[in-house]
Structure 1
Amino acid sequence: MFLFIKKHLKVNNTLLTILFTAFVIVGCQSTSSPMLSDGPLQASTAYDPELSVATGEMKDALLLKKSAALIQENNPAAAKTTLSELNPELSPNLTSQKQLVDIELAIAQGQFAQAKSLIESIQKTSLLPYDQYRLARAKVKSFNQQANVDALRAYIALAQVAPSEQMQAIVDESWRVTANISQTDLKNIIITSDEFIIQGWLELRNIYETYRDNSQNTALMETAIENWRIRHPHNPATVNFPSQFLTPGQMPAGFEGGISSTNQVNSDAKVALLLPLSGSKQVTAFAEAIQDGFDYANSASGTGNTSMAVSAGMSVIDELTGAAPSPQITTGSTQYINYNVYDTNQKDINAILIEAEQAGITTVVGPLLKPDVEKLEQYTGPIKILALNAPEVLSSNPNICYFALSPEDEAKDAANHMYNQGKRSALLLVPYGNLGDRIANAFNSQWQQLTGTTAVVRTLHETNDLKIMGGSRDPLDISGPVQQANIDAIYVVAEPEKLLLVKPMISSATGGKPNIGIFASSRSNKNSLGPDYRMEMQGVQFSEIPLLANINSPSYQSAMDSMNNDYSLIRLRAMGADANRLSQQFDTLSTAPEFTMQGDTGLITIGANCEIQRKLNWIEYNEGLIVNVTPN
């Protein structure tokens, strides 16, 4: 519009400026504040023509832009003078802009502590996108080249809003900070559940410290970095790798511009982790949780022989009852494992095993998915395999062991526990469909061995259906079996919301007989359950892995942070940690039937065909508290 006016009309610059200003004011009437357009700052003098005619909020907005430009031009004194022309009362949007300029001015004057204080109080939601970038950049500058985890957090935030052309410089600075964090600070770092980027940077530092004195072994270093890239796909360094990871002369060839996405072979690694790291989000989340646990066991063991003690510490029960901490339980000696990673969704499992053989791998942890595990029956090679699932029929291959967190295993453990509690006649309430059939078959297989009888099985309706049926006398259809078979134990496999509906139905149908025990699977245990739920569950016993029953152990705290308090993922993470420990004792697993290990997933023993078996913790709701069930 204005190009047309200037080209076709003879107007002087003053008139043009007036027309432009009027247009801006009219165009901004629909907003709460007449903000200038978002984007990079202009030269400070570029704002003068508009300032000469602007009034009110428009003038304040222009003064703020000019002040910011003056700071950018390293002229904080002039910026301070310009700020003094502002109206004393600003609109909320302009107040945020004023706070941002104050932050930038404090940094320009070397007042970093004041800048940090101002950053904490600024109203960030009122800032436009480019101003969000200015704020993130200011926060980085406020650390004044310091190397600590908060400075690293600032660089991570800046990477999320900065222009792409700045990413390499941001990655290089992020790496400088990471590599120079003091050992004292490293020991005291607390990382929250959503800070996976920080975890990645710290793991990259571990790689750096491992290879900085052995930089000539570039193949080993390249593989370590490639495995790191697979584990941390969202870290900005996966695309823009630090240009001075060691020094420019020692940088591994091919890493200056990024990292290859293909699997690479570490000639010194003897262990490989086989997981579905691509594909559906749910499956990859499961795989990543297992790998996170595997890495946690690595980090806990350090770089040499370490006694891997899982401290029971103060359990859930201890916290609620005030009991003394439980004694420490030792799991044995483990070492740091340098391992390769293979994505089982990218290549057939048998092809991966052949590739692993050629790479000198001697032990494999995985695969996870049952179809891949079933293919292991065809494998006759020398690699020792700790599968993370189990087929319907276990192989007798002495080089294969099976480690699964299955509902069938939990049902067998429930049968053992109920029998040890003196129960002899059981009723099962299981989900409808294949899952319920599998659970019932597994329970009855064990129950028949123990008692010579089978349990009565009933299937549970969906939660909404149970709510509708709640008014009937016996919606679960269990009163008959309870009377005829003298039922003294009921095992329920249900989520907490469903169990909350089922328990009063059981009491109604059984007449509240005190000798009938109610037992539940870990499916009924979630992080969000409160005191009201515990009161409703009076007398119910449920099974859980030791890690989730010992809430003050280092393993528990780390798992809660890494898995965002998701118990289902925490159980898989515990599996990954135990898989790390078991893989280092594979020869013992297959040759010593008396093998026992206290793991995060349970008290581990070895069954037929090297099937890993777990004894779980059992916990009881008692008057709003949670108490350990003493084994009989």
Structure 2
Amino acid sequence: MIVSRKPSLGVFALLLLALTLGGCAQQIRQANPDARPTPASSPSQAIAAGDYARAADLYMRAASNQSDPERSRRLRFEAGLAAAQAGNTTMARQILDSFTPSTLERGDRGRYELAQREISIAGLPPSQALDRLPPPSSGTAPAIAERVWEKRAQLHFEQNDLIAGIGALVQRGVWLVDDQMLRGNDSTIYDKALDAISMGQGPQSSAARDADKTTLGWLALADIGQRRWSSRNERDRALASWEERFAQHPATRAVLENRFSYRASTSPAQREPGQRAFGETPRPQSDTVALALPLTGKFENAAKAIRDGFMFAYENDDTAPSRPMIYDTNTMTATDVQRQAQSDRVGILVGPLDKPKVAEMARLDSRIPTIGLNYSDTPNQRPGFYQFALSPEDEAREVARHAADEGHRGALALVPSGGWGTRVFDAFREAFEQRGGQLINYANYEPSEPDHRDPIQSVLRNRAGADFIFVAGQPDQARLIRSQLRYYRARNLKMFTTSHAYTGTPNAGDDIDLNGVGFADMPWVVGQGDFLENRRAEAEQRYGTTAKHYKRLFAMGMDAWRLTDRIAEQGLASGDVFEGMSGVLKVNQDGTIRRYLAWAVFRSGEPQLVEMPSMNDARSDSSRAAPDPWAQR
């Protein structure tokens, strides 16, 4: 039997000494774990604290007490958004179903659509929900982007992937404009970093292998915070060393002072919401070029087509240096690729191709100018790292641009369900509305279904003011949808689409259903003239199958060499524009490469070129161009 006794004064003295020596030991959220924070008294306070259920309740109370009908409606709308973020789908549906999207202002419409997306994924497993809530990137409305990242963080935390969740909150901080919310986000990140340390997910753990530098900084700081130190001076030396390693880290904003009573000597870098840092580009240190592609494995066919296009362009370049080196990256990590390139004294590295390795490569500390052949999801990347891909978002933007240039002002949209359809749809809508157009109605269809009558009837039900329909899909789906649009008396409604509706090889028998349909595609695929026709014939003669059946990837390889050659000659700078085979290429501020495409229309079942892409259009286009699944509405 254990008898409880009051400690003597001597014991208290010992405890006091221990606290003096170890008072800096553990940085815990609250000294008293049972202490409960004071409930927020305003919706903004509740949102800053991440208590969206409380915010929804406060908004509804305010709406019920508001005598101005328009003000009351506005508060109810905010309550519906907060309820969706809180996961209260019943309340969110009841409120938001009373709003018609087309009557909302541009910014509110984007927030409304995000709330509906949150409602639709509420009952899904976290992994599936993450697939249906793609990350935002440049050009996104800050209010939407930060909310997407916060929701993605919640989903990662639900499946105990703490480091990925911390990374999502780090990205959320890039988009926050309110200082109170920034500090609240930082505090949450630090708490989650402490949880990660306690679960063995520290900065040196395998779980942190792919973490970005900012996330690693949070983990390293939490590691300092949970240790026992013999004195405050010893701990402060560790913090000074941390700050030197992670200069201008977000933790220097308030966490160091609030959690450690430590005054930082630096502060976070200032930038616009969502702006990526893209600093001075390193110059090639040699003429050697290396092409890094997964030439074996599941990406083998795509990789070989890109390789052949790259080599075809190289072979036709009279000023090219020594023959490029080729790495098979199937079993290599991005770190392996970089080490091999450093060992071979490579001046310019092209690749990798698969998305995770591109994201990993973007985070590596390297002085080798590199062209990643895909887009990463994270907005931060190192100087000299470029991203070039056959982005369907670029094509959707081109459709919107062409439609607006033709004078169209009202659009319908029909896109496949899932992440790909979401990205294409949002890129189209953002670009079309930027040019003064309006999305009247839209619907999703299931690509695996043999009949799309239900979504077609749904999208046509409210078509007043629409003068064309944007359809995204593969050839079979585009042909079927075009036929069913005719059946449902929309024969005269113009249909525009992306290159995905065309196989790349003329087939009048199959594509006769697409007559009159306009689409964006590469100059290499639909361009005309002796130069292009001769080059295509030459490519097929030299490279056979890849040049004939993988035209778009072959053209991507050609343009990858074009970018390489440009870096070697004069470097790449934001705003640079030049002609390529996959389109007119423009370098964005964040290092992504935007493509401007040709326009063609099906006539008698075969594509007919209408116009080639213009360098002047690319120069004058000020819209953001990175892959953008949650664009400004």
Name the TM-score class by shorter chain.
0.3 to 0.5
Higher relative contact order (CA 8 A, sep 6+): 2
The structure that has the greater radius of gyration is 1
TM-score (norm 1): 0.47
